[in-house]
Amino acid sequence: MGSGRVALGVLGGTFDPPHFGHLAIATAVRDALSLDEVLLVVANDPWQKVGSRQLSSASDRLAMVRSAVEGCEGVQASAIEIERGGPSYMVDTLTELKARNPGRSLFLILGADAAALLDTWVRHEDLPALATLVIVDRPGFDARIESAGWDVVHVAGPESAVSSSSVREMLARGGAVDNLVPGPVLAQIRQRGLYGVG
């Protein structure tokens, strides 16, 4: 990236809960592309997951993400989708971020598995005009986006196989997750009584 470029990364998710893998992806992309900032955008109503399982409240998930990014330079929690309300569509989020940040280049960060499902997103055909797509590659997934108009950058992702679902399962069994989630996030989980933790 040129030294004069002002660049903003956007990593959206349910973050139920956020874990070290999310932070590793955000920092890997921040460093690889010399981004000024990466936003962890907490979904208000993750429409593709509604009905699949019980979700933690948006306020709980935002609090956990805010705790997760404490002290992580260049990585911030964003409540933009929660403040907007309703179903969370990335096309609306990027449109709003572009309006709020004129002159900044936006970089939509996706894992290779999520990138392979981009054509299922609402108004996905409008996304290439709003942001550069950053695909975080990991073993076992090879996402090659052929959609017209996309400017695509590939970044090597962390080796970690941690997922939010695995963290929830371990917590439900009473297992230790200190090596999977930041300490402040675990404190929020305990304080709020999430995932069956008292």
Whether residue 2 lies inside any domain: the answer is no
Q: What is the per-residue pLDDT for 140?
A: 64
Taking 50 as the pLDDT cut, the residues of the chain under it are 1-4
Tell me the helix, strand and coil percentages in the chain, rounded to 5: 40, 20, 40
Interhelix angle 58-68/183-192, nearest 10 degrees: 150
Whether residue 111 lies inside any domain: the answer is yes
CA distances from 110 to 3, 133, 163, 169 (A): 24, 8, 14, 24
Domain that holds residue 94: 7-196
Whether residue 1 lies inside any domain: the answer is no
Whether residue 44 lies inside any domain: the answer is yes
* CATH code: domain of residue 41: 3.40.50.620
Q: Dihedrals φ, ψ of 86, to 5°?
A: 70, -170
Whether residue 96 lies inside any domain: the answer is yes
How many domains in the chain?
Answer: 1
Q: What is the per-residue pLDDT for 3?
A: 40
pLDDT tens digits for 116-139?
888 889 999 999 999 999 999 876
Q: What is the per-residue pLDDT for 175?
A: 93
Whether residue 104 lies inside any domain: the answer is yes
